[in-house]
Amino acid sequence: MTNPDNPLYVVESQYRIPVNDYPARMTPIPPSRMFEIKKALDGYLAKAGKGAEVFDASQGDGGASLPGTPADILRRAAELQIEHGTGYDQPFGTAQFRKVTAERYWKFTEASGFGPENIVFTQGGRDGLNKAYQAMVALGHKRAGDLLVVSRVPWISYSWGPYSLGLNVLLAPGRENEGWRYTPDGIRETAKFAEAGGRKIAGLVITSPDNPTGRTTPLEEQIELAQVALESGVAYVLFDWIYHWVTDGGPTDINTVLEAFTPEQRERLIFLDGLTKSLGASNIRSAHIVAGKEVVKNIVGTASHGVVPSYYAQAVAIAAYEDDFGKAAAPIIDTIKQSRQIMRDVLATKDVRNIMGDGYYAFIDLTKYVQNGKTPDGKPFTDSADLGAYLGAEFGVTVVPGVYFSDAGANWARFSYALPPEKTAKAIARFFEALDSTL
């Protein structure tokens, strides 16, 4: 019998986590520097006057700079919330959300082997990613300290989100002149590199269109990369498709991917999607994961002790999915396409390398300005962060310095065209006016 006067473990000895001091040896996780960028605009406005026109080409917030979620969808979501009530929902969301997402949004085929039970609602993309990382650790090689593989110039949160959950982040091989794209050989070499270091790969992230580069990876290529990854011992492949609706080619067909893999392999695929970019629903925090049943079971079990999703965020998705999502997202999609064409036309006239795929962003090589440019008082620039701060403070135009993402992007900048077309045209003109003034 257990002595009630003694402490008592919740789990038996064979299930207890061994003591490991790795948190004491982790580097501090830095806050995102994205929020620092707007300080340069404050400096510019202080000099030019509060009414001066500024151009924020640093953000990717469609809810702020684009038309945002249509009011009729928000009203419909409010009606759904009233009908539904305000009690707790299941950790996966609601059966209603699962059904409409499976049948009306993804339109799963019988051959895909997936259905409503393969869907978990999450409170935004970061919540979805963190839950996916936790599942990778728990179900894959089942070890902390293993690796998550991302591109050579990754989105900032890809570097630090998984690290906070016990995964080391590894930048895959990638060449600048190829937009740092993954290659099958690069993935194989990455697997060998991991094995030589005594680690395994818990997951590989494929994001298309990419953030920050905007590079779009054809679906056939995504499938090939995922197949090579699984064959190389990668436990899970995560497809981050948060931007896939705002492309010239239209949304990605999940059934094509699922049907390219065996039922066993499908269990090792995870897909992330949501409303942040396609519907401009940034502060709605509405996203979801599509995954195999074991991953879903793990996420649901963990979520039941953590973040139980809000119904209103699901209701916005239900309202958008239940009719015609392409029509609901048209104000964002059409605006972005117009701005994208403006960017393509302007960049075609400039003597700078650039990656101009889809999504919200162009990635522009500023090497000649970093290396040869100077401020009016003769001060040289050290990298894209130094140059970017100057452009914001002196010309009122901000971009995200590529060095914020990784050293490989030190001389590049992410230019967001998630703006109305007329604003995009003015912003890119001011950007190059400012750059040319440094030479």
Closest CA to 190 of 217, 150, 155: 150
- How far apart, in whole angstroms, are the C-alpha atoms of residue 299 and residue 287? 14
The answer, yes or no, to whether the previous bond of 116 is cis (omega within 30 of 0) is no
CA end-to-end distance (rounded Å), the chain: 81
Q: Report the run of H or E that residue 426 belongs to, with start and end.
A: helix 421-436
The pLDDT of 247-257, averaged and rounded, is 96
HEC string of 175-230?
CHHHCCCCCHHHHHHHHHHHHHCCCCEEEEEEECCCCCCCCCCCHHHHHHHHHHHH
Domain limits at 274? Answer: 86-326
Predicted confidence (pLDDT) at residue 32 exceeds the cutoff of 90? no
The pLDDT of 37-54, averaged and rounded, is 88
Q: Which of 273, 307, 326 is a domain's end point?
A: 326
Is residue 96 located within the same domain as residue 228? yes
Query: Is position 133 within any domain?
Result: yes
- CB of 157 closer than 8 Å to CB of 129: yes
DSSP 351-378: SS-EE--STTEEEEE-HHHHHH-B-TT-
pLDDT tens readout for residues 153-175: 999 999 999 999 999 999 999 99
Is residue 133 located within the same domain as residue 175? yes
pLDDT of residue 64: 87
Query: Is position 74 within any domain?
Result: no
Is residue 309 located within the same domain as residue 336? no
The pLDDT of 48-76, averaged and rounded, is 92
- Side-chain-side CA neighbours of 205 within 13 Å: the count stands at 29
Q: Report the run of H or E that residue 274 belongs to, with start and end.
A: strand 269-274
Predicted confidence (pLDDT) at residue 392 exceeds the cutoff of 80? yes
pLDDT tens readout for residues 291-314: 999 999 999 999 999 988 999 999
- CB of 292 closer than 8 Å to CB of 267: yes
Q: How far is CA 205 from CA 30, 132, 192, in A?
A: 21, 11, 18
Predicted confidence (pLDDT) at residue 213 exceeds the cutoff of 90? yes
Closest CA to 155 of 136, 137, 180, 178: 180
- How far apart, in whole angstroms, are the C-alpha atoms of residue 269 and residue 302? 19
CATH number of the domain that residue 215 is part of: 3.40.640.10
Is residue 273 located within the same domain as residue 360? no
For residues 391-430, b (16+ Cβ closer than 10 Å) or e, as one string? bbbbbbbbbbbbbbbbebbbbbbbbbbbbebebbbbbbeb
- How far apart, in whole angstroms, are the C-alpha atoms of residue 230 and residue 33? 34
Measured at the CA of 265, the angle between CA 263 and CA 266, to 5 degrees, comes to 65
Higher pLDDT, 432 or 4: 432
What are the residues facing 45 on neighbouring strands? none
Is residue 255 located within the same domain as residue 150? yes
Q: Which of 292, 326, 360 is a domain's end point?
A: 326
Of 106-110, 260-264, 385-389, the one with minimum mean pLDDT is 385-389
What stretches of 273-329 show up as alpha helix (H) in DSSP? 293-303, 311-321, 325-328
- Side-chain-side CA neighbours of 180 within 13 Å: the count stands at 27
What are the residues facing 120 on neighbouring strands? 289
CATH number of the domain that residue 343 is part of: 3.90.1150.10
Long-range CB contacts for residues 378-387, cutoff 8 Å, separation at least 24: 381/438, 383/410, 383/411, 384/409, 384/410, 384/411, 384/412, 384/413, 387/413, 387/438
Q: Quote the tokens at residue 417.
A: 């065209």
Q: Which of 326, 356, 390 is a domain's end point?
A: 326
Query: Is position 286 within any domain?
Result: yes
Is residue 302 located within the same domain as residue 357? no
Label the pairing between strands 168-171 and 147-150: parallel
Rounded to the nearest angstrom, the gap between the alpha carbon of residue 60 and the centroid of all alpha carbons in its chain is 11
Is residue 313 located within the same domain as residue 395? no
- In this structure, how many other beta carbons lie within 10 angstroms of the beta carbon of residue 349? 7
Closest CA to 169 of 294, 27, 271: 27
* Residue 88 burial (C-beta neighbours within 10 Å; 0-12, 13-18, 19+): exposed
Is residue 386 located within the same domain as residue 261? no
Is residue 122 located within the same domain as residue 145? yes
Predicted confidence (pLDDT) at residue 380 exceeds the cutoff of 90? yes
Predicted confidence (pLDDT) at residue 78 exceeds the cutoff of 70? yes
The length of the chain, given as a count of residues: 439
Query: Is position 6 within any domain?
Result: no
Is residue 252 located within the same domain as residue 304? yes
Query: Is position 69 within any domain?
Result: no
**Residue 206 pLDDT class (50, 70, 90 cuts):** very high
Query: Is position 16 within any domain?
Result: no
The pLDDT of 180-200, averaged and rounded, is 98
The pLDDT of 372-381, averaged and rounded, is 95
Q: Quote the tokens at residue 434.
A: 């400012």
pLDDT of residue 50: 86
Query: Is position 102 within any domain?
Result: yes
Query: Is position 252 within any domain?
Result: yes
Is residue 130 located within the same domain as residue 160? yes
- CB of 161 closer than 8 Å to CB of 129: yes
- In this structure, how many other beta carbons lie within 10 angstroms of the beta carbon of residue 182? 27
Mean pLDDT of the chain: 95
For the chain, the domain total comes to 2
The pLDDT of 36-41, averaged and rounded, is 79
The pLDDT of 327-345, averaged and rounded, is 97
**Residue 1 pLDDT class (50, 70, 90 cuts):** low
The pLDDT of 122-128, averaged and rounded, is 97
Predicted confidence (pLDDT) at residue 233 exceeds the cutoff of 80? yes
Is residue 133 located within the same domain as residue 279? yes
